[in-house]
A and B are shown apart, each in its own frame.
Chain A
Amino acid sequence: MLQAKELECERGGRALFRSLSFILEEGEVLRVAGANGSGKTSLLRILCGLLPPASGEVIWKGAPIQALKEDYSRQLVYLGHAPAVKDDLTAAENLAIACRLAGNAQPEEALREALARFEVPRKLFVRQLSQGQRRRAALARLALSAPVPLWLLDEPFTALDSSGVAILRGTLEQHAARGGAVAFTTHQDPGMAAAKVVDLDA
Chain B
Amino acid sequence: MLEAARCIVYRDLLLALRRRTDVATALLFFVIVASLFPLGIGAEPNLLRAIAPGVIWVAALLSTMLSLGRLFAADHADGTLEQLALGAAPLGVVVTAKTLAHWLLSGLPLVLIAPVLAVQYDLPQALYGVLALSLLLGTPVLSMIGAIGAALTLGVRGGGVLLALLVLPLYVPVLIMGAGAVEMAAAGLESGGQLLILGALLVFTAAFAPWAIAAALRISLE
- Asked whether, in the complex, the Cβ of B82 is within 8 Å of the Cβ of A51, the reply is no
- Asked whether, in the complex, the Cβ of A80 is within 8 Å of the Cβ of B82, the reply is yes
- Asked whether, in the complex, the Cβ of B79 is within 8 Å of the Cβ of A84, the reply is yes
Contacts of A105 in B (CB 8 A): 3
A84 and B83 in contact (CB under 8 A), knowing A70-B88, A101-B89? yes
- CB-nearest residue of chain B to A99: B7
- Asked whether, in the complex, the Cβ of A100 is within 8 Å of the Cβ of B3, the reply is yes
Contacts of B15 in A (CB 8 A): 86, 88-89
B1-51 contacts to A (CB < 8 Å): 3-4, 7-8, 11, 14-15, 18-19
Q: Does A7 contact B (CB under 8 A)?
A: no
Interface mask (B77-99 → A, CB under 8 Å = 1, otherwise 0): 11110111111111000000000
Among B4, B78, B80, B85, the residue within 8 A (CB) of A100 is B4
- CB-nearest residue of chain A to B76: A82
Among B8, B80, B82, B85, the residue within 8 A (CB) of A85 is B80
Among B14, B86, B89, the residue within 8 A (CB) of A78 is B86
Q: Does A98 contact B (CB under 8 A)?
A: yes
- Asked whether, in the complex, the Cβ of B222 is within 8 Å of the Cβ of A89, the reply is no
A99-114 contacts to B (CB < 8 Å): 100-105
Contacts of B86 in A (CB 8 A): 48-50, 73, 76, 78
Contacts of B222 in A (CB 8 A): 50-52
- CB-nearest residue of chain A to B11: A97
Please report the C-alpha to C-alpha distance between residue A70 and residue B84 in the assembled complex, in whole angstroms.
11
Contacts of B7 in A (CB 8 A): 97, 100-101
Contacts of A49 in B (CB 8 A): 86
Q: Does B221 contact A (CB under 8 A)?
A: yes
A88 and B82 in contact (CB under 8 A), knowing A101-B87, A103-B87, A103-B88? no
Taking the nearest CB of chain B, how far is it from the CB of A25, in angstroms? Answer: 22
Q: Does A74 contact B (CB under 8 A)?
A: yes
Please report the C-alpha to C-alpha distance between residue A96 and residue B144 in the assembled complex, in whole angstroms.
28
Contacts of B18 in A (CB 8 A): 88-89
Please report the C-alpha to C-alpha distance between residue A52 and residue B221 in the assembled complex, in whole angstroms.
10
Please report the C-alpha to C-alpha distance between residue A82 and residue B15 in the assembled complex, in whole angstroms.
19
- Asked whether, in the complex, the Cβ of B90 is within 8 Å of the Cβ of A84, the reply is no
Interface mask (A47-82 → B, CB under 8 Å = 1, otherwise 0): 011111000000000000000011001101010111
Among B3, B79, B88, the residue within 8 A (CB) of A80 is B79
- CB-nearest residue of chain A to B6: A100
- Asked whether, in the complex, the Cβ of B84 is within 8 Å of the Cβ of A78, the reply is no
Please report the C-alpha to C-alpha distance between residue A50 and residue B83 in the assembled complex, in whole angstroms.
10
Taking the nearest CB of chain A, how far is it from the CB of B197, in angstroms? Answer: 35
Contacts of B83 in A (CB 8 A): 78, 84, 98, 101
- Asked whether, in the complex, the Cβ of A88 is within 8 Å of the Cβ of B88, the reply is no
- Asked whether, in the complex, the Cβ of B85 is within 8 Å of the Cβ of A84, the reply is no
Please report the C-alpha to C-alpha distance between residue A83 and residue B80 in the assembled complex, in whole angstroms.
8
Please report the C-alpha to C-alpha distance between residue A101 and residue B84 in the assembled complex, in whole angstroms.
7
Provide a sorted-by-A list of 16 A–B residue pairs whose CB atoms are within 8 angstroms.
A50-B221, A70-B90, A74-B88, A78-B83, A78-B86, A82-B77, A82-B78, A84-B78, A84-B82, A88-B18, A89-B15, A100-B4, A101-B7, A101-B88, A101-B89, A105-B3
Given contacts A84-B82, A86-B78, A100-B4, 15 further A-B contacts (CB under 8 A): A51-B222, A70-B88, A78-B83, A78-B86, A82-B79, A84-B83, A86-B15, A88-B19, A89-B11, A89-B14, A97-B11, A100-B3, A101-B89, A103-B87, A104-B88
